[in-house]
């Protein structure tokens, strides 16, 4: 027997004549069992197949007398030589017939030379075994080989070799002359790894198409090859039902400069996550299935064997002595060799490695040279603490660590430290295999029966895998196979067996395997009731029924074509009865029907005949069978017909028959329809046409009315009877002829007289003979015309109407207001009308009348084009009403009337500055920013405005000031700190004056702290102290930033930010270093540009220094009340709630009291007082003018008291509004309100 392992496939040729009774299936199960052993580990193909092949060879050797030759250098090929000579006989070469046909592929065969005892060589065929891991079921292989294999490749990729780090390219070519689209090409490594998802840095796939030769070229390029890239590759090409495949090998030779290495997949993990050797290969799963031998063997130091052995012998030693993690052990051996050195702290160090069974106990021993040295144990770098699992023991100079009840998590690297020295070891934990205690048994059954295959294993809930012909079965929800586990018992259940279930089923554990054959046969079939021939009228139901002896599925055929269920064709299967039902038969249902049961070579035939008398289908013509056609168009009237056999069709009009050939009017006949064709319809073609069908089953006739219609005549020219601003009104007469079809309505169009472009005005038909066009432009001449519409189409346009021009007056002027009043004149101003129109605006007319009269007097006899006019020569003290009109070519507009009478008397309004709210506090800007303040004021006549800064006149070269009638603006383009100060504004009207003060503060970044000194140095700490900066940037210092720098590098690092004190202690400094420190000051603008550095450096001495804790006195947090935010003078509107706010601090918490005009506010429902976090608020609900006055907030505690006050002025309300509407000047109303408040200080 010869056995080959090439590219991940195990192939075997068995010599049955030599007395061997080993089946390929058993070898396959052993090979797959090795792959299954560790389900959580995913190794590279070369590593896992090499180990699995060793196990397969061992079992094969136990069942044969052959000689095994195995070479670790080439794991992909091993040979088993028979003891005797010769090539196998012809009978030996034939495969055993077991119900399945093995696939043969010339691309997967090769010749291998094997050496015999006499030195001769023989050629052995190498074939891919059908039971090798990754192949499909025999049925799938047979289907693929027989129905899908074809020759598509015109050039196949050839095997090759490459050195590590070099590039290689494989090329496949496919001819596309007979292909309608591009074929699908896939590249694989081994049997299952699709390389399309691996494309990237080391693998590139490329495809090109040559149009002249029509050849597709597919390339796979391997870049910078690694040693583990070697192996078997496969290229597959598919196109529709065609398939072709080619295998080739890649050899990667080791470079002479680099040591051999293995590229381990990033997904590989060993059982102990988080260990320092995580990711190394774990061979524990591959060896779990080894049975535990009862005889005791002498202990052998595997470490010594590995140290002294040739690297090529490592895998043999690992297989022989049960090493579970060879890759990890070799890595650790390399690390151990690197760590071998004499130790001064240990007189005896740990052994290089320890091995223990799962659940066992292990003992680590070291011997110290100095028993007083402190010793610590570590596992994967984590210190081990004493517990019930880890026990420490001291015996003289020996230090012992016991690990109880070892688990797979204890498989790790351990080391022990004594002072500055350490020694380490490796612990390997082995897990016992799971064996099959009760094997599977062969079973025979019939199709449709329930099948259960059961076995028992040595452990409960063990990991067991099931296989069918070498293919693994999974417990998926929709799978026909159900896997059941009950303790140690494992069962495979097939609810309804089929012929496809004929196979060899096997179960594998980590320590054993068992297999059994399942045979499923068919019962003999009998036809209990055959199908019968039927003759059915068209539209009637067709029912075909048969009965067979077995309850199995089947297929229905019509004229040899497979029938499938649809909305019209129903297929029923109940027990042994099968029915085909067609609810409403059609002509196409006639034919030969046949039922074929599944899995049986039996058919049940019958014949169905459908008859149909002739019939006309006029459903689409309506109730009266009338067809309308437009004159001049072609009419093609198609009438569907039916009948079996095909009926004869005859057309006629009156007594005249219509022929099928020639003429403007003709008939055309088809198998399923007949057409009446009129090439150019005329009015005389209207009339009744008769169609008649006739065949041997009967006849059918119908009359069809054809009506020829046309578009209507155009209406007469329309009349425009009325014209408006942008509209007109028009009417017209209907057309004399409606075209033979009722009129549906009219379309109207218009255009400018000088234009040739008409615009449609209505998109919905106008049912009436009148219309009102809108949205026209004033002053432009227009014309209109009309179209008549019926069901046929639109008539020609009517003659256009006479030209007309829309025109209208403007809208009234807007915003009429009093601009100025003297003792004899009133000046009014207004805005132009919102809508002027096409007629334009010629000017305005201003009119007035005295109060008590209705006579309007024109103030300007001639039109004025300005929007301001002064009415002169008015008597002093009189009252007048004023109105204004806009005038254009269409006439005057509606007047705009001033709502109130105007008193002819000059009014003096006292000045009042309306200082914005944000300017009532300090206005802060940064250096370089612009200052632009607008302060509105009021007063009449125009007030005089003056500015002063800190009591002196303002320098206009630095500060720009602009004054207007209603406001004053102060502008500084780039603010400087010299612009800070108090700015006094004075507004004066005659002897009346109002003043306001604005505090402007221009801030900048501060200067550095004054002096920074090192107060003290102790241990790792330095105490610093400094003085605030001389220049605070015109803003409060909010903190300091402290940095340190090592004297050697002088690189500065921030230690503390936003520090508020002027002394600090810097900690966690490095002993032996020398430091400098520097400090930045910080205000609202940021850090100072420069920092103050210590003149001396601080040396952190290595020898310790006793630190004396300073004595700190308790800080006194008590504080007398102090207002941090005062009350602000406030103006309120009557009827709207007003609030007064201030903030205070103090310790103990002060008591807050509110007063109005020095009188305490107590239990007054109109006031609500509340405070939060030192913010005090007084809310006045719906104040009136009498709530104005001086309000005081007083804060008192045991250390003192403080108070702030403000003025509240309430304006508006009902009385204020009434006075204002009666024409009383505001300064008189103000004086009146002050007198009323003085007379009633406490109430209304």
pLDDT digits (tens, 9 = 90+) for 418-432: 988 889 998 888 777
**Mean pLDDT to the nearest integer, 281-296:** 38
Confidence of residue 1217 (pLDDT cuts 50, 70, 90): low
55: its two tokens: 């196990």
Q: What is the mean pLDDT of residues 955-977?
A: 90
Check pLDDT > 70 for residue 1225.
Answer: no
Handedness of CA 579, 580, 584, 590 (dihedral sign): negative
877-886 as b/e: b if 16+ CB within 10 A: ebebbbbbbb
How far is it, in rounded angstroms, from Cα 12 to Cα 427? 39
Q: What is the pLDDT of residue 824?
A: 86
HSE-up of 886 (CA within 13 Å, CB side)? Answer: 24
Render 712-771 in DSSP notation, one character per residue: PPPPPPPEEEEE-SS-EEEE----S--TTS-EEEEEEEEEETT----EE--SSPB-SSEE
What integer is the mean pLDDT of 1225-1234?
Answer: 65
Condensed to tens digits (0 to 9), the pLDDT of residues 27-73 reads 444 444 444 443 333 433 444 444 444 444 444 444 433 333 333 33
Decide if pLDDT at 1155 tops 90: yes
Average pLDDT, integer, range 80-96: 36
pLDDT digits (tens, 9 = 90+) for 645-697: 788 898 898 888 888 877 888 888 888 899 999 988 887 888 899 999 888 77
Instruction: Render pLDDT for 371-410 as a digit per residue (tens, 0 to 9).
Output: 888 889 999 989 999 999 999 998 888 999 999 999 888 8
Torsion over CA of 731, 735, 741 and 745, rounded to 10 degrees? -20
Of residues 993 and 1234, more confidence is placed in 993
The pLDDT of residue 41 is 38
Which single residue is written with the structure tokens 């408040």?
A: 1237
pLDDT tens digits, residue range 830-856?
999 988 877 788 899 999 999 989 899
| Per-residue pLDDT at 796 | 92
What letter does residue 144 receive in the DSSP assignment? Answer: I
Give CA angle at 270 (269, 274), nearest 5°. 80
Contact call for residues 804 and 728 (beta carbons, < 8 A): yes
Question: Given a cut of 70, is residue 1067 above it in pLDDT?
Answer: yes
CA distances, 1097 to each of 18, 1020, 1050, 1073, 1091 (Å):
96, 14, 12, 10, 16
pLDDT for 1135 beyond 90: no
- Supply the pLDDT for residue 1110: 78
Distance of alpha carbon 254 from its chain centroid, rounded? Answer: 47
Q: Is 158 exposed, middle or buried (0-12, 13-18, 19+ CB in 10 A)?
A: exposed
pLDDT at 444 over 80: yes
Instruction: Report which of residues 1234 and 909 the model is more confident about.
Output: 909
User: 1090: pLDDT confidence band, cut at 50, 70 and 90?
Assistant: very high
pLDDT band at residue 122 under the 50/70/90 scheme: very low
Cα 616 from Cα 702, distance rounded (Å): 8
Separation CA 870–CA 888 (nearest Å)? 22
Q: What is the pLDDT of residue 429?
A: 83
Asked if pLDDT for residue 256 goes beyond 50, the answer is yes
Q: How confident is the model at residue 1027 (pLDDT cuts 50, 70, 90)?
A: very high
Report whether 135 contacts 471 (CB < 8 A): yes
Asked if residue 281 has pLDDT above 60, the reply is no
Q: What is the pLDDT of residue 42?
A: 40
Residue 512's pLDDT band, with cuts at 50, 70 and 90, is confident
Average pLDDT, the chain: 79
Looking at residue 597, its pLDDT comes to 92
Q: What DSSP string describes 168-209?
A: EEEEEEEE-TT-SSPPEEEEEETTTEEGGGG-SSSEEEEEEE
Tokens of 406: 């070892």
Measure the CA–CA gap between 414 and 375, rounded to whole angstroms.
13
Phi, psi (rounded to 5 degrees) for 785: -150, 170
Tens of pLDDT, residue by residue over 548-597, are 988 888 999 999 999 999 999 999 999 899 999 999 988 888 899 999 99
- Specify whether the CB–CB gap between 324 and 408 falls below 8 A: no
Q: Are 353 and 428 in contact (CB under 8 A)?
A: yes
Cα 841 to Cα 813: distance, rounded to the nearest angstrom: 11
Task: Copy the structure tokens of residue 78.
Answer: 């091993």
Return phi, psi of residue 1062, to 5°.
Answer: -105, 20
pTM: 0.29
The rounded distance, in Å, linking the Cα atoms of 246 and 150 is 12
CA distance 599 to 576: 15
Tracing tokens 């509606």 back to the chain, one arrives at 894
pLDDT at 554: 92
For 894-939, what is each residue's pLDDT tens digit?
999 999 998 888 778 889 999 998 888 999 999 999 999 999 998 8
Q: Which residues sit opposite 576 in a β-bridge?
A: none
CA-nearest of 469, 458, 466, 404 to 434 is: 458
Residue 719 pLDDT > 90, yes or no?
yes
CA atoms within 13 A on the CB side of 910: 12
333-351 pLDDT tens trace: 665 555 556 678 888 898 8
Q: pLDDT band for position 279 (50/70/90)?
A: very low
Contact 668, 635 (CB under 8 A): no
Convert the pLDDT of each residue in 738-756 to its tens digit: 888 889 999 999 999 989 9
Cβ–Cβ under 8 Å, residues 739 and 792? yes
pLDDT-wise least confident of 275-284, 295-304, 389-398: 275-284
Q: What's residue 231's pLDDT? A: 87
The pLDDT-based confidence of 991 (bands split at 50, 70, 90) is confident
* C-alpha span between 109 and 89 (Å, rounded): 19
Q: What is the pLDDT of residues 1178-1188, one digit of tens each?
A: 999 988 888 88
The whole-angstrom separation of Cα 955 and Cα 559 is: 114
Please give the full DSSP string across 42-84, using - where no structure is assigned. Answer: ---HHHHHHHHHHHHHHHHHHT---EEE--TT-TT--EEE-SS
Report, as an integer, the average pLDDT of 1213-1241.
59
DSSP annotation of 331: H
Q: So what's the pLDDT on residue 304?
A: 67
Q: Which tens digit of pLDDT belongs to each residue from 597-655?
A: 987 888 999 999 888 888 888 888 877 888 888 888 888 889 898 887 788 898 898 88
Cβ neighbours of residue 1117 under 8 Å, at least 6 residues apart?
1147
The answer to whether the beta carbons of residues 160 and 170 sit under 8 Å apart is: yes
| 817-840 mean pLDDT | 86
Where does residue 617 rank: exposed (0-12), middle (13-18), buried (19+ CB within 10 A)?
Answer: middle
Question: Which residues 6+ apart lie within 8 Å of 477 measured at CB?
Answer: none
> What's the angle, vertex CA 104, arms to CA 102 and CA 106, rounded to 5?
170
């Amino acid at each position: 027997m010869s056995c080959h392992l090439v590219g991940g496939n195990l192939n075997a040729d068995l010599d049955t004549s030599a007395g061997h009774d080993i089946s390929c299936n058993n070898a396959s199960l052993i090979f797959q069992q090795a792959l299954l052993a560790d389900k959580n580990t995913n190794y590279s193909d070369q590593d896992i197949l090499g180990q699995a092949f060793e196990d397969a060879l061992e079992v094969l050797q136990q069942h044969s007398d052959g000689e095994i030759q195995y070479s670790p250098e080439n794991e992909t090929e091993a040979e088993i030589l028979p003891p005797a000579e010769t090539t196998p006989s012809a009978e030996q070469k034939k495969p055993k017939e077991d119900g399945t046909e093995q696939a043969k592929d010339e691309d997967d065969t090769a010749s291998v030379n094997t050496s015999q005892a006499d030195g001769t060589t023989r050629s052995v065929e190498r074939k891919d075994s059908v039971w090798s891991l990754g192949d499909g079921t025999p049925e799938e292989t047979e289907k693929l080989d027989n129905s899908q294999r074809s020759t598509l490749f015109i050039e196949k990729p050839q095997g090759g070799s490459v050195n590590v780090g070099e590039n290689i390219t494989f090329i496949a070519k496919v001819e596309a002359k007979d292909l309608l689209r591009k074929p699908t090409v896939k590249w694989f490594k081994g049997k299952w790894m699709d390389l399309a998802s691996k494309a990237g840095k080391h693998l590139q796939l490329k495809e090109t198409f040559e149009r002249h030769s029509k050849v597709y070229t597919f390339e796979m390029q391997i870049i910078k090859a690694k040693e583990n890239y070697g192996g078997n590759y496969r290229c597959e090409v598919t196109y529709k039902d065609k398939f072709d495949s080619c295998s080739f090998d890649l050899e990667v030779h080791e470079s002479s400069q680099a040591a051999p290495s293995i590229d381990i997949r990033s997904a590989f993990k060993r059982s102990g996550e988080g260990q320092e050797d995580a990711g190394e290969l774990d061979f524990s799963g591959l060896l779990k299935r080894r049975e535990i031998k009862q005889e005791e063997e002498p202990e052998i130091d595997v470490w010594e064997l590995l140290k002294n052995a040739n690297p090529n012998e490592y895998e043999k030693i690992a297989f022989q002595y049960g090493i579970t993690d060879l890759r990890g052990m070799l890595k650790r051996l390399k690390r151990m060799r690197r760590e071998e050195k004499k130790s001064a702290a240990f007189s005896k160090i740990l052994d290089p490695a320890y091995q223990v069974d799962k659940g066992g106990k292990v003992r680590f021993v070291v011997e110290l040279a100095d028993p007083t040295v402190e010793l610590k144990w570590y596992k994967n770098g984590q210190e081990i603490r004493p517990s019930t699992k880890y026990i420490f023991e001291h015996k003289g100079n020996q230090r012992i660590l016991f690990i109880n009840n070892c688990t797979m998590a204890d498989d790790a690297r351990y080391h022990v430290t004594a002072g500055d020295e350490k020694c380490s070891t490796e612990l390997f934990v082995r897990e016992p295999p799971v064996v099959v205690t009760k094997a599977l048994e062969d079973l025979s059954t019939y199709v449709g029966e329930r099948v259960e295959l059961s076995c028992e294993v040595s452990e409960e809930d063990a990991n067991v895998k099931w296989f069918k012909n070498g293919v693994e079965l999974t417990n998926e929800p929709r799978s026909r196979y159900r896997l059941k586990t009950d303790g140690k018992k494992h069962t495979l259940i097939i609810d309804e067996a089929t012929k496809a279930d004929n196979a060899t089923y096997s179960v594998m554990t980590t320590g054993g395997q068992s297999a059994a054959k399942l045979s499923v046969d068919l019962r003999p079939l009998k036809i209990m009731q055959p199908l019968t021939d039927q003759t059915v009228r068209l539209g009637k139901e067709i029912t075909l029924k048969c009965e067979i002896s077995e309850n199995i599925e089947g297929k229905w055929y019509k004229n040899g074509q497979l029938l499938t269920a649809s909305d019209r064709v129903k297929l029923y299967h109940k027990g042994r009865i099968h029915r085909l039902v067609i609810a409403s038969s059609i002509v196409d249902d006639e034919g030969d029907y046949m039922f074929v049961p599944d899995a049986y070579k039996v058919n049940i035939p019958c014949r169905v005949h459908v008859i149909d008398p002739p019939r006309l289908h006029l459903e689409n013509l309506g109730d009266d069978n009338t067809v309308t056609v437009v004159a001049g168009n072609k009419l093609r009237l198609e009438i569907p017909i039916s009948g079996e056999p095909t009926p004869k069709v005859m057309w006629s009009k009156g007594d005249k028959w219509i022929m099928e050939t020639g003429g403007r009017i003709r008939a055309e006949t088809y198998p399923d329809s007949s057409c009446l064709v009129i090439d150019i319809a005329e009015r005389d073609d209207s009339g009744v046409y008769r169609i008649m069908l006739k065949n041997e089953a009967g006849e059918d006739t119908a009359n069809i009315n054809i009506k020829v219609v046309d578009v209507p005549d155009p209406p007469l020219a329309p009349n425009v009877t009325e014209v408006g601003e942008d509209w007109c009104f028009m009417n017209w007469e209907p057309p004399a002829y409606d075209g033979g079809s009722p009129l549906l309505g009219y379309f109207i169009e218009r255009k400018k007289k000088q234009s040739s472009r008409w615009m449609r005005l209505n998109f919905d038909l106008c049912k009436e003979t009148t219309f009102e066009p809108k949205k026209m432009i004033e002053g432009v001449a227009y014309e209109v015309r009309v179209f008549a519409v019926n069901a046929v189409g639109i008539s020609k346009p009517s003659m256009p109407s006479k030209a007309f021009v829309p025109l209208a007056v403007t809208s009234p002027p807007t915003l009429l207001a009093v601009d100025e009043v003297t003792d004899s004149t009133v000046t009014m101003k207004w805005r132009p009308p919102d809508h002027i129109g096409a007629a334009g605006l010629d000017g305005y007319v201003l009119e007035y009348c005295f109060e008590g009269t209705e006579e309007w007097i024109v103030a300007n006899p001639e039109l004025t084009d300005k929007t301001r006019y002064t009415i002169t020569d008015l008597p002093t003290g009189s009252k007048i009403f004023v109105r204004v009109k806009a005038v254009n070519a269409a006439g005057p507009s509606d007047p705009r009337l001033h709502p109130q009478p105007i008193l002819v008397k000059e009014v003096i309004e006292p000045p009042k500055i309306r200082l914005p709210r944000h300017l009532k506090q300090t206005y802060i800007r940064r250096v370089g920013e612009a200052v632009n303040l607008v302060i509105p004021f009021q007063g009449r006549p125009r007030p005089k405005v003056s500015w002063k800064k800190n009591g002196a006149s303002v320098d206009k070269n630095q500060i720009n000031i602009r004054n207007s009638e209603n406001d004053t603006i102060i502008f500084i383009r780039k603010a400087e700190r010299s612009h800070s100060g108090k700015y006094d504004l004075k507004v004066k009207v005659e002897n009346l004056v109002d003043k306001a003060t604005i505090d402007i503060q221009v801030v900048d970044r501060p200067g550095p702290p004054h002096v920074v000194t090192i107060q003290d140095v102790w241990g790792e700490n330095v105490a610093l102290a400094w003085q605030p900066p001389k220049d605070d940037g015109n803003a409060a210092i909010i903190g300091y930033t402290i940095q340190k720098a090592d004297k050697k590098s002088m690189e500065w690092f921030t230690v503390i930010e936003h520090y508020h004190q002027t002394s600090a202690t810097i900690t966690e400094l490095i002993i032996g270093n020398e430091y400098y420190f520097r400090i930045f000051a910080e205000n609202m603008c940021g850090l100072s540009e420069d920092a103050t550095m210590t003149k001396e450096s601080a040396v952190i001495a290595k020898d310790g220094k006793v630190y004396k804790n300073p004595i700190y006195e308790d800080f006194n947090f008590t504080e007398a009340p102090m207002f941090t935010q005062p009350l602000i003078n406030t103006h309120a509107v009557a009827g709207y709630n007003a609030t007064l706010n201030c903030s205070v601090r103090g310790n103990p918490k002060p008591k807050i009291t509110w007063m109005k005009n020095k009188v305490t506010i107590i239990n007054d429902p109109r006031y609500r007082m509340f405070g939060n976090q030192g913010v005090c608020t007084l809310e006045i609900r719906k104040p009136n003018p009498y709530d104005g006055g001086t309000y005081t907030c007083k804060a008192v505690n045991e250390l003192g008291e403080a108070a702030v006050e403000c003025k509240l002025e309430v304006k508006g309300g009902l009385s204020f509004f009434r006075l204002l509407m009666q024409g009383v000047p505001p300064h008189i109303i103000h004086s009146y309100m002050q007198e009323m408040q003085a007379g009633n200080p406490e109430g209304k």
